[in-house]
Amino acid sequence: MEMTKYAVGVDIGGTNVRVCLGDENGNVKDKLSEKLDVEDKNSVTKQIVRMINSLKSDFSAIGIGSIGLLDLKKGELSNPVHIPFKNIPIVKQLKGVFDVPTYLVNDCDAGVIGEKSFGLGKKEENLAYLTISTGIGCGVVLNGKLILGKDGNATEVGHLTIDLNSKLKCGCGGYGHWEAYCSGRTIPNFVRLLGKNDTRLKNSLILKLCNGNIANLTSEKFFEAVKLKDELSLEILEKIGEVNAIGISNINAAYDVSLITIGGSVALKNENFILNPIIKNLSKHSLNRIPKVAITQLGEDVVLYGALAVAFDSSILE
């Protein structure tokens, strides 16, 4: 019998689940996306099984990149945010149905694996992938191996504290974390803080775009004001960029990487607004030699590519 040349990649996100069929060079033959079904404890697995079956192809292995928290030893989604069920034994369940090797990594780790396998990091042994999305997350490959830590939660850099006295609350409940300033969910809080005592706020587009009520501000509306060259918004954008530069300098201080790629919806929708102030402010906060910093070229598929890559070669996890 001919050996199948395909594997399956799965990306379990907060809202959507995506499945792809591809070869070891990252050529994707088929790709599906659906809204995540969180009806009951088994619905996520059932949905993935149905999606994989609808690819109508043989495959050699399955790689999964998923939102956390995960228990990698048990192959479980132990406490996945946005899914109201705990301890979903996804690896065991998929192995039970398809009888192929099945690997689970967190989504940011899949991101950095995708970047190293098929993206800008192909020639790099030391790299990080940063996502700026609803939250801020990171995956790091050092000396060619993924950094996991005791529970697989290493490199959670969004929760590095960058201000001891900060009143800004993070998605995790803590205060003063990087994520409390610069994620899609928290940018409005940072804008409100910086705009509070600024006399320009009342005539700014920030306020106009949320109909005079700053409580209604979203990060989308803020970037709209930036695009329209609103003066206050452009100043605040610089501050966001400087906080991101501090976070990225911290990644480099800890891991000394040669490349950091950035993905996630906030970065992908506002590439230059996110990237330029980071590059401008990086040297101010860095001791180690500054790495190349770029927006991922794999777009929103970076996690899916990483899941596919780990299905073909799991040695990066060892």
- Tell me the closest approach of the beta carbon of residue 178 to Zn ion, in angstroms: 8
Pick 72 or 170: Cβ nearer Zn ion: 170
Q: Tell me the two tokens of residue 113.
A: 């694996």
> Of 181 and 273, which has the nearer Cβ to Zn ion?
181
Q: Least distance in Å: CB of 177 to Zn ion?
A: 4
In the complex, which residues of this chain contact Zn ion (CB under 5 A)?
A: 159, 170, 172, 174, 177
Tell me the C-alpha to C-alpha distance, in Å, between residue 306 and each of 13, 182, 301: 14, 25, 9
User: Cα(first)–Cα(last) distance of the chain, in Å?
Assistant: 30
Nearest approach, Cβ of residue 91 and Zn ion (Å)? 27
Q: Pick the closer one to Zn ion by CB: 89 or 174.
A: 174
Give the shortest CB-170-to-Zn ion separation in angstroms. 3
Cis peptide before 69 (omega within 30 of 0): yes
Least spacing, CB of residue 210 vs Zn ion, in Å: 25
Question: What DSSP string describes 92-159?
Answer: HHHHHHH-S-EEEEEHHHHHHHHHHHHSTTTT-SSEEEEEESSSEEEEEEETTEE---SSS-TT-GGG
- DSSP strands (E only) in 165-282: 259-263
B/e letters for 54-64, b = 16+ CB within 10 Å, e = fewer, are: ebeeebebbbb
Q: Which is nearer to Zn ion, 164 or 287 (CB)?
A: 164
Distance CA 159, CA 55 (A): 38
| Segment (H or E) for 66 | strand 62-66
Cβ proximity to Zn ion: between 18 and 159 the closer is: 159
For residues 169 and 239, which CB has a smaller minimum distance to Zn ion in the complex? 169
Sequence-distant (≥ 6) Cβ neighbours of residue 184 within 8 angstroms: 132, 133, 134, 219, 264, 265, 266
Quote the least distance from Cβ 84 to Zn ion, whole Å: 21
Whole-number minimum distance, CB 181 to Zn ion, in Å? Answer: 11
Give the residue with the Cβ less far from Zn ion, 98 or 175: 175
Give the CB-nearest residue to Zn ion: 170
